[in-house]
């Protein structure tokens, strides 16, 4: 080997050798960095994919829950409507029953009053045929209302004879009972109180003026 060639080889090793080594190190670093970036990007992509999957699952669950809520609301609305209809029907039925009971009660009351009136008339005929003293003795122990009802349908003369045979207390009770009924009737129209006449009193009343019934007849 010549001296010049030897010098050039030494120069090449001394000058170019470290440069190639540095370039190789930098290349390795870049490769490693690229590898790390690629791994990081892959992790980010995987995370995004995972988040999208979770988001999709949550959306599906939300849709199902909203559907369940709508179905529940619809069912509750239908059940409420059915309940209100049944309640309305029940109220209508109860109202009909109440009306029917009231009508039946009114009917029975009228029938009872009719029976009472019929019985009172029957007893009135019996008491009219009895002696005044005996009739007074029996009526003395009866309820004052029933006594007034029986005496009220009699002829005034007969009623007066029977009352005259009663005790003063009983006669007073009959008079007060009749007077009280007429007072109650007059309260309904107080403006006509001054214009009322004695002949407004039931002509069959045992306390009506004697002879008035015969005058009207």
pLDDT in tens, 150-175: 888 788 888 889 999 999 999 899 88
Residue 64 has pLDDT above 60, yes or no: yes
In sequence order, the 6+-apart residues with CB closer than 8 A to the CB of 119 are none
Higher-confidence residue: 186 or 98?
Answer: 98
pLDDT in tens, 127-155: 888 898 898 998 888 888 888 888 887 88
Q: Average of pLDDT values for 188-208?
A: 39
pLDDT in tens, 67-96: 999 999 999 999 999 999 999 999 999 999
pLDDT of residue 197: 36
Distance from C-alpha of 61 to C-alpha of 125, rounded to nearest angstrom: 94
In a 13 Å sphere around the CA of 53, the CA atoms on its Cβ side amount to 6
CA angle 155, 161, 164 (to 5 degrees): 135
Q: Model-level pTM greater than 0.75?
A: no
pLDDT of residue 210: 31
Domain ranges of the chain: 35-111, 130-185
Cβ pair 156, 210 in contact under 8 A: yes
Distance from C-alpha of 65 to C-alpha of 60, rounded to nearest angstrom: 9
For 152, 180, 186, 204, 212, the CA distances from 201, given in Å and listed in that order, are 11, 12, 11, 8, 10
């Amino acid at each position: 080997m010549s001296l010049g060639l030897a010098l050039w080889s030494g120069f090449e090793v001394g000058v170019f050798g470290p440069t190639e080594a540095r370039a190789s190190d930098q290349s390795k670093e870049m490769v490693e960095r690229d590898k790390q970036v690629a791994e990081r990007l892959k992790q980010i992509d995987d995370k995004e994919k995972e988040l999208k999957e979770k988001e999709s699952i949550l959306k599906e669950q939300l849709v199902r829950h909203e559907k369940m809520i709508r179905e529940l609301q619809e069912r509750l609305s239908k059940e409420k409507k059915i309940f209100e209809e049944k309640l309305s029907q029940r109220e209508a039925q109860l109202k009909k029953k109440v009306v029917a009971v009231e009508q039946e009660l009114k009917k029975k009351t009228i029938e009872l009053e009719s029976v009472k009136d019929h019985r009172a008339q029957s007893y009135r005929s019996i008491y009219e045929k009895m002696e005044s003293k005996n009739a007074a003795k029996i009526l003395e122990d009866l309820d004052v209302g029933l006594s007034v009802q029986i005496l009220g349908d009699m002829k005034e003369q007969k009623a007066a004879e029977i009352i005259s045979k009663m005790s003063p207390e009983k006669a007073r009770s009959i008079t007060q009972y009749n007077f009280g009924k007429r007072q109650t009737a007059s309260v309904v129209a107080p403006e006509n109180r001054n214009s009322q006449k004695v002949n407004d009193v039931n002509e069959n009343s045992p306390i009506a003026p004697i002879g008035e019934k015969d005058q009207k007849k």
